[in-house]
Amino acid sequence: MDYLFLILGMIILILGAHLMVKGASSFAKMLGIPNIIIGLTVVAFGTSFPELMINVFASLDGQSDLAVGNVVGSNIINVLLVIGIAAFIKPLEVQSTTVRFEIPFSLLGMAILFVVANDGIIDDLPVSILHRSDGIIFLAFFLIFIYYTFVVSNWESKHHHDEGHDVHEMSKLKSALLLVFGMVGLYFGGDFIVDSATSIATKWGLSQVVIGILVVALGTSLPELATSAVASYKGNADMAIGNIVGSNIFNVFLVLGVSASINPITFNPSINIDLLLAFVATLLLFIFVFTGKGRKIDRKEASIFVLLYFAYVVWLLELV
């Protein structure tokens, strides 16, 4: 039953995020917000909502390793597996603003997470904790990123004739119903996943970190995988790359920021290796943009990403 509830929870969670994004996008369109801003805010929020809901429940239940493992694991999967698959389908050209600001901002997020989470290493304290004050710092950085997104979005909407996420405007009633059903799905999906994942980890003697990174993170990264794969196939490289880098920034600053603000999170030092891989993967993404011909991620570099991910999974399973 635990496996059934885990799969059911992921389906409900992803469906809930999809419905909520459609409803919220329709409301935003009614308010006259440009498509490109909706794509870079509402849609980006939507793909990170699964991680957010799981972390809220994990934080409330005191499942710290699951909460941190979910975020770090999602960031690893997003770069190595999702961008790897998307770039293998079709080489991805990377927008200059993504290279200059968004990828470095994602690197900054993981560097800050390492510093504020490792009280044991940096301050020589017996326990490492992400305190509420750390959560507030993360949320402050998140607001800076949102401000930047609006500035860039406004500039692009003026210069690119409002190209962006295709938004279907619906009636107010239908939009409201989608929002409500989406939120209900997010709530129950997140609850099912945390409870079942914790139960499975206990039965198999697995750590919450491993369950969070291998199972829960992969499940919550399915929206990013679907969005980026389709965007790559359609030749929309900006959405394929921007969706992932934006999601990774959201994961650290918004998801962990909210989680730590709700309840302080105990940080397991063993996650530092996974955090280092997330940092290295993002650094490789930055480096690969400047290798080869043009500012793009080609199939050879995509293959390196995917192989690195599977090597990481094998290494994790050997530790179990």
DSSP-assigned states of every residue in 46-87: HHHHHHHHHHHHHHHTT-HHHHHHHHHHHHHIIIIIIIHHHH
Residue 280: the pLDDT is 96
Domain that holds residue 315: 2-319
pTM of the model: 0.83
What's the pLDDT tens digit per position in 124-168?
888 999 999 999 999 999 999 888 877 776 666 565 554 455 556
pLDDT more than 90, % of the chain: 28
Q: How confident is the model over 285-291, as a mean pLDDT? A: 86
pLDDT at residue 270 tops 80? yes
Helix (H) / strand (E) containing 127: none
| Average pLDDT for the chain | 82
Residue 162: the pLDDT is 47
pLDDT at residue 247 tops 50? yes
Total domain count, the chain:
1
Q: Which of 158, 130, 122, 177 is nearest to 37 (CA)?
A: 158
Residue 36: the pLDDT is 55
Q: How confident is the model over 258-287, as a mean pLDDT? A: 93
Query: What's the per-residue H, E or C state across 155-222?
Result: HHHHHCCCCCCCCCCCCHHHHHHHHHHHHHHHHHHHHHHHHHHHHHHHHHCCCHHHHHHHHHHHHHCH
What CATH number is attached to the domain comprising 174? 1.20.1420.30
